[in-house]
Amino acid sequence: MNRQDAVRVIVCDDQNISRGFFEMYVRAAAGFELIAGLRTAREAVDYLKEHEVDLLILDVMMQDGIDGLSAAALIKKEHPQLKIILTTSAAETGWEDKARAIGVESFWYKEYDEHGIQEIMNRTMAGESVYPGDAPDVSFGKIKRSDLTDRELDVLRELTGSLTNEEIAEKLCISVNTVKRHIQNIMEKTGYENRLDVAMNAKALGLVVSDKQRTGNG
């Protein structure tokens, strides 16, 4: 393949090591050309106004400016033909549905996906939409992530955002007593002694990530 026919790729990740990892694999991939490595999602949005790009590899969590999901939504409106691979080192699965709704082609878990990024790149550019078949089953206290119910994960997600029981109840449209019961169930399952331990460990593992954390407000 001639250089002019190569897939033009930009990588956007605010972690230097992670960004370097992606840049290395893009450079090594046959038929792909790295044209930029960017640190913020806002840089990616601005870069695309001036340059022709075929594929964007974009991290979800960003510490400076808008997050990857928000940037992907903006980019898809302006550049619907551009293919996007969203990536994350967190085990948060709630972002997959959001990414699909935006029109993001593929989603890749850095730490947990059995497929390599080059395979995801090739399949995405071949027209596939590549999403994980199974959620990352991370150890959490005495249990695995899969041992928590969807509603317990919903409550846990808001708990990591430092919301009170009343705020969680209002956001999830459930009663305060139901919130308390879910938190108690999580503590009993995991073996953590209090809600702070539950929230801190979930946050450290990236088990769930609140919208406040994702957008840099948490």
pLDDT, one tens digit per residue, over 49-99 is 999 999 999 999 987 779 999 999 999 999 999 999 999 999 898 899 999
The reported pLDDT for the residue numbered 34 is 97
The pTM assigned to this predicted structure is 0.86
Residues 112 and 80 grouped into a single domain: yes
Tell me if 51 is assigned to some domain: yes
Q: Choose one of 78, 93, 125: the last residue of a domain.
A: 125
Residues 44 and 103 grouped into a single domain: yes
Residues 18 and 47 grouped into a single domain: yes
Residue burial 19-32, b: 16+ Cβ < 10 Å; e: rest: beebbebbeebeeb
Q: Choose one of 125, 151, 171: the last residue of a domain.
A: 125
Specify the pairing of strand 55-59 against strand 106-109: unpaired
Residues 37 and 63 grouped into a single domain: yes
In this structure, the dihedral spanned by the alpha carbons of residues 102, 95, 118 and 124, taken in order and rounded to 10 degrees, is -30
Cβ 154 vs Cβ 184: under 8 Å: no
Q: Choose one of 125, 155, 176: the last residue of a domain.
A: 125
Tell me if 130 is assigned to some domain: no
Residues 40 and 114 grouped into a single domain: yes
The reported pLDDT for the residue numbered 36 is 97
42 pLDDT higher than 50: yes
- Which tens digit of pLDDT belongs to each residue from 178-204? 999 999 999 999 999 999 999 999 988
The reported pLDDT for the residue numbered 4 is 65
Residue burial 177-187, b: 16+ Cβ < 10 Å; e: rest: eebeebbeebb
Residues 76 and 16 grouped into a single domain: yes
Domain that holds residue 181: 139-214
